[in-house]
Amino acid sequence: MNNSRRDFIRKTAIAGAAMMAAPSVFGSEAAKRRQKAADAVVPFKLKYAPAFGMFNEHCGADLLDNIRFCHDMGFRAMFDNGLIGRPVEDQVKIAGEISRLGMELGPFVLYADFSVTSFVLNKPEVKEMLINKMKEGAECFKRTGVKWALMVPGRYDEKLQRDFQTANVIDNLRYCCDIAEEAGFTIVLEPLNTIHDHPGLFLNGIPQAYAICRAVDRPSCKIVDDIYHQQISEGNLIPNIEAAWSEIAAFHLGDNPGRKEPTTGEINFKNVFKYIYSRKYDGVLCMEHGLSDKSKDGEVRVIQAYRECDNFEV
């Protein structure tokens, strides 16, 4: 994308965000609208991270244009669940542009097979599979510098008592941590809701994930707290974040119901973000959600929703 077209798109998106924020075009409201436009390029307080493709109506499908557009809108991070599956040249290209702009790239998915029992089993073939996965993750880290690799422990085993499964998960994670620590990256475990989206999975709550991380007792084993999933699984979002704080390394975002941008559901994201900011959190909050409106205006609305929720007093 050439610079003139990029500048035009940037100004259009900023103007759109300002217009949506302003209830009137007359009198003092015009001044407010101009201020909103100016604020639109100010970096957010927290590192909210859009996914590649979230703003395709504005910036197209080009990877670098995606990064530059998000930076222009005030975002200082991005995430790519499928990073490890991209061609090596694309991985390097993404990492280079992220670094050049002083941004950060959030966790990529290293292992998340929802269809099989894996971590919960004490079997040589499971250990071998996990070691091979970790080696792939180490290579991706070397190329990109992305320091978090997301892992989901898979399904629970209906024929094995849960405490034995927990012990197996802990042992298997320690094998994984040996490789992660030698390479220099961190595993982040993601609890997922089993009520609506992922029935049958072993790991489904923040207290459970916290207990496992404490038992593994390695600096390379942490949690990614998915606000959408945890609102469904257990609610009590801020108290659980506070209780598990020492083991949380990243966040995923999405409102409930619907898994769309903040302000579309029941979660008070402004208060959640304010609490996270109060803890001096400097990590990534991945915008792992859809858009309530997939049009160009809908993309502007996503940016404005984050502006609204990021507008908390500090």
What are the structure tokens assigned to 137, written together?
A: 């993750």
Cα dihedral sign, 94-96-99-101? negative
Asked whether residue 288 is domain-assigned, the answer is yes
* 181 in catalytic set: no
The answer to whether the predicted template modeling score (pTM) of the entire model surpasses 0.85 is: yes
- CA proximity to 244, closest of 285, 191, 312: 191
pLDDT digits (tens, 9 = 90+) for 200-254: 999 999 999 999 999 999 999 999 999 999 999 999 999 999 999 999 999 999 9
Mean of the per-residue pLDDT values of the chain: 91
**Domain that residue 132 falls in:** 45-310
Rounded to whole angstroms, the Cα distance separating 69 from 51 reads 12
Selected catalytic residue, list 104, 261, 288, 299: 288
Asked whether residue 2 is domain-assigned, the answer is no
Strand partners, 284: 47
- Kindly state the average pLDDT of the residues 29-41: 53
- CA proximity to 48, closest of 236, 232, 241, 302: 302
- Kindly state the average pLDDT of the residues 134-151: 98
Asked whether residue 71 is domain-assigned, the answer is yes
Asked whether residue 29 is domain-assigned, the answer is no
Asked whether residue 8 is domain-assigned, the answer is no
CB 274 within 8 A of CB 281: no
Q: How many domains in the chain?
A: 1
Residues in the chain: 314
Asked whether residue 126 is domain-assigned, the answer is yes
- Which CATH number covers residue 212? 3.20.20.150
* 299 in catalytic set: no
Asked whether residue 54 is domain-assigned, the answer is yes
Q: What is the share, in percent, of the chain residues with pLDDT greater than 90? A: 87
- Kindly state the average pLDDT of the residues 102-119: 97
Selected catalytic residue, list 104, 190, 247, 261: 190
Asked whether residue 24 is domain-assigned, the answer is no
